[in-house]
Amino acid sequence: MRIGELAERAGTTTRTLRYYESRGLLPARRGGNGYREYDEADLRALEQIRTLQDFGFELEETRPFVECLRAGHPEGDSCPASLAVYRRKLGELDALIGELTAVRESVGAQLERAEKVMDALAAEDHPSPRCELGG
């Protein structure tokens, strides 16, 4: 298939495919007429790249998965290098979850403090302070 058909079937653009080619993720095979030619294996590699990117993987992190497919494996994550990328990504995600949990706890504590201030003011029969924006 030609580049336009592959782009359409993969749900991407020809520009993206040329970029992947320049990064060595998509083979640059040319027919006798000089046009780029692709096959179902290339479509499978593109699907793998897109799935991983949807999960937050950087383009370069998809390389071991694509290489695994090119080596003839039925799945891009059935090679040791792919598993290593999964492990590294899980470590990054765990770290981000830890950071977000800490931020959530801080915001929760701030909310609790602010609610106590508002409750104390209400109990003392003070009118709520007015918040004005702009002017």
Q: What digits encode the pLDDT tens for the residues 5-35?
A: 999 999 999 999 999 999 999 987 888 898 8
Residue 130, pLDDT score: 67
- Say which amino acid occupies 134: G
Cα–Cα separations (whole angstroms), residue 29 to 50, 66, 91, 126: 21, 16, 37, 77
Residue 129, pLDDT score: 61
Do 70 and 41 touch, CB atoms closer than 8 A?
yes
Burial of 26 (C-beta count, 10 Å sphere; 0-12/13-18/19+): buried
Phi, psi values for residue 77, rounded to 5° = -110, 25
Q: Which residues of the chain have pLDDT under 70?
A: 126-135
**First vs last C-alpha separation in the chain:** 62
Residue 71, pLDDT score: 95
Residue 87, pLDDT score: 97
Residue 134, pLDDT score: 59
Residue 102, pLDDT score: 96
CATH of 3-123, one of 3.50.50.60, 3.40.50.1390, 1.10.1660.10, 3.20.10.10: 1.10.1660.10
Total Cβ atoms within 10 A of residue 27: 16
